Structure 1
Amino acid sequence: MALVALASAKGSPGVTTASLVLGALWPRPVLLAECDPAGSDVAIRMTAPGGQPLNSDRGLVSLAAAGRKGLGDDVIMAHSQQLDGGLDVMIGVRSPEQIGGMGGLWEPLGISFNQMFSADVIADCGRIGPASPQVPVVQAARLVVLVCTATGSSVAHLRERLSSLVHHVDAQLGVVVVADPKRRDGVKQVWSVLDAMSVRVQHRWHLAYDPAGAAFFDGRGQGRLDRTPLIRTATDIAAEMASLVSMPTQHDFDMAQAAFPLGDTPYSPQADWEGGQ
């Protein structure tokens, strides 16, 4: 199946909320993996079935210890847990100080996420830059989506990050703009900025800025979630993203040919992300 990486270039435009809502609406089995080195938000916001607290010790950190001998589906899922509502999650680090315990896990983790047999993976990568430890997860993804708002500063950082990112990932690129449904002019301005860039962003989506809908993914929701603008816009986005990553890619073709050795070096998304800033 496939890995989809969501990230931001600056600030907090709603990557975690977007990851949660897309995971909840994903049309196939999916695992939400918190790969944000700033620390887990899901363990704070959400609960396990029956309203029980999530186990913050079971997730990336425990996987780092157990996965040194291999990262198959069974190992990954053994260190995941389920949210109330049924979404499988891999809880991230509790604090940035725990990143040191991850060692060299990021690179094999990204590759393993992209090659899982049992589920797609949506990775909440938080804010990314050239020195971010989670960059190998982004590099391994089949679809990389940057999340921004329709503000000038957010779009400026988006433009800079895309200009660097395009040289270091072999993936389809997408942008999600989180904006008030009534602010279509602001969203169109973002598209105009992208059109003026030399970077080809193949996929563009508008996710509704909807505090009432987002509250459901922060443990505070009331009323009918399915009637919120957030869910109405996210439903179509989730379906389209899932369809995109289900299509065969050149990477899939190369992997298939590995059964018939031709003397070529196998593809590996391990190139260092250096410079570009």
Structure 2
Amino acid sequence: MALVALASAKGSPGVTTASLVIGALWPRQVLLSECDPSGSDVAIRMTGPSQTALNPDRGLVSLAAAGRKGIGDEVIMAHSQQLDGGLDVLLGVRAPEQIGGMGGLWAPLGQAFNQMYGSDVLADCGRIGPQSPQLPVLQSAGLVVLVCTATGSSVAHLRERISSLVHHVDAQLGVIVVADPKRRDGVRQVWSVLDQMTTPIHHRWHLAYDPAGAAFFDGRGVGRLDRTSLIRTGSVIAAEMAAAVAPRTSTDFDMAEAAFPSADTGTAGEYRQ
């Protein structure tokens, strides 16, 4: 299946909320993994089925201890938990101090995520930089998405991180701008900045800044979640992101052959009556 890594260049523009929203709306089986070395937010913000508390000690740390002889689908899922609503999640560390004993985990974990048989993986990598320990997870991803806001400082850090990241990862790059739906001019300004860069950005999305919708992913929601602008924009992002990393099938190749026939069936570009 596919590994998608989401991260920020600076601060907290909403990577965890974006990851939770996209994971909840993902059209295939998906696992959300917290790979942010600063500590887990999901265990604090979310609950398990029937409002039960999540076990903060079951996640990356327990996986690191159990996976010394190898990490596969069964091992990963054995240390995952399910949120109320059905999303599978691999909780991150409780505190940054726990990262010290996990130095050798990141590279095999990224490879295992990318090779999972029955599930896509969304990795919430938090803030990243050249020395970030979770960088090997991004290096294993097929799609790396940076989350930013439409403020000048956030966009400046975004440019710097993209310029640096392109030397470390070989993946499609995407950007999610978290902005008020009424501030489309700010989003367009971000796109304009990206257009001036030499690094190609394959995917661009606008996720609504929507405190009322985000409250549902912090245990404080009231009303109809499906009517929020967060869910409306998140649905589009989840569908397009999943399509971008979907494995190609024989049908895809047949359609490509029909659109661009090989030399023995006709000349490319030839029009026939």
Q: What TM-score results when the alignment is normalised by the length of structure 1?
A: 0.89
Residue 171 of structure 2: aligned partner = 171
- Give the conservation status (yes or no) of the 8 Å contact 2:39–2:92: yes
Structure 2 segments unaligned to the other structure (5+ residues)? 250-273
Letter in structure 2 aligned against 1:114: N
Letter in structure 1 aligned against 2:104: G
Root mean square deviation, CA, Å: 0.9
Residue 240 of structure 2: aligned partner = 240
Partner secondary structure for residue 125 of structure 2? strand
- For residues 73-84 of structure 1, what are the structure 2 equivalents within 5 Å? 73-84=73-84
Q: Could you tell me how far apart the structure 2 residues matched to 1:2 and 1:71 are?
A: 16
**Cα deviation digits, residues 130-186 of structure 1 (max 9, x gap):** 100000001100000000000000000000000011111110000000000000000
Q: Check if 1:109 corresponds to 2:116.
A: no
Residue 25 of structure 1: aligned partner = 25
Residue 268 of structure 2: aligned partner = none
Partner secondary structure for residue 175 of structure 1? strand
- Give the conservation status (yes or no) of the 8 Å contact 2:216–2:222: yes
* 1:248 Cα offset (Å): 4.2
Q: Could you tell me how far apart the structure 2 residues matched to 1:237 and 1:49 are?
A: 26
- Give the conservation status (yes or no) of the 8 Å contact 1:23–1:32: yes
Residue 126 of structure 1: aligned partner = 126
Q: Could you tell me how far apart the structure 2 residues matched to 1:193 and 1:248 are?
A: 32
Q: Could you tell me how far apart the structure 2 residues matched to 1:123 and 1:67 are?
A: 18
- Percent of pairs identical after alignment? 82
- Give the conservation status (yes or no) of the 8 Å contact 1:58–1:91: yes
Residue 196 of structure 2: aligned partner = 196
Letter in structure 2 aligned against 1:134: Q
Partner secondary structure for residue 63 of structure 2? helix
Q: Could you tell me how far apart the structure 2 residues matched to 1:44 and 1:215 are?
A: 13
Letter in structure 1 aligned against 2:223: G
Report the structure number with the largest CA radius of gyration.
2
Letter in structure 2 aligned against 1:197: M
- Give the conservation status (yes or no) of the 8 Å contact 1:64–1:103: no
Q: Could you tell me how far apart the structure 2 residues matched to 1:239 and 1:135 are?
A: 26
* 1:101 Cα offset (Å): 2.0
* 1:102 Cα offset (Å): 1.2
- For residues 1-277 of structure 1, what are the structure 2 equivalents within 5 Å? 1-248=1-248
Q: Could you tell me how far apart the structure 1 residues matched to 2:41 and 2:50 are?
A: 19
- Give the conservation status (yes or no) of the 8 Å contact 1:31–1:87: yes
Size of the aligned set, in residue pairs, is 249
Q: What TM-score results when the alignment is normalised by the length of structure 2?
A: 0.90
- Give the conservation status (yes or no) of the 8 Å contact 2:103–2:133: no
Structure 1 segments unaligned to the other structure (5+ residues)? 250-277
Q: Could you tell me how far apart the structure 2 residues matched to 1:68 and 1:45 are?
A: 30
- Give the conservation status (yes or no) of the 8 Å contact 1:181–1:209: yes
- Give the conservation status (yes or no) of the 8 Å contact 1:216–1:225: yes
* 1:247 Cα offset (Å): 3.9
Q: Could you tell me how far apart the structure 1 residues matched to 2:113 and 2:248 are?
A: 17
Letter in structure 2 aligned against 1:58: R
Q: Could you tell me how far apart the structure 1 residues matched to 2:134 and 2:210 are?
A: 28
Q: Could you tell me how far apart the structure 1 residues matched to 2:246 and 2:171 are?
A: 13
Letter in structure 2 aligned against 1:12: S
Partner secondary structure for residue 159 of structure 1? helix
Q: Could you tell me how far apart the structure 2 residues matched to 1:59 and 1:193 are?
A: 38
Q: Could you tell me how far apart the structure 2 residues matched to 1:62 and 1:197 are?
A: 41
* 1:103 Cα offset (Å): 3.0
* 1:50 Cα offset (Å): 1.2
Q: Could you tell me how far apart the structure 2 residues matched to 1:125 and 1:238 are?
A: 17
Partner secondary structure for residue 44 of structure 1? helix
- Deviating beyond 2 angstroms after TM superposition, the runs of 4 or more aligned structure 1 residues are none
**Cα deviation digits, residues 95-152 of structure 1 (max 9, x gap):** 0000012130000000100110010000000000010000000110000000000000
Q: Could you tell me how far apart the structure 1 residues matched to 2:202 and 2:87 are?
A: 28
Q: Could you tell me how far apart the structure 2 residues matched to 1:71 and 1:201 are?
A: 32
Q: Could you tell me how far apart the structure 2 residues matched to 1:94 and 1:101 are?
A: 13
Q: Could you tell me how far apart the structure 1 residues matched to 2:148 and 2:133 are?
A: 21
Letter in structure 2 aligned against 1:22: I
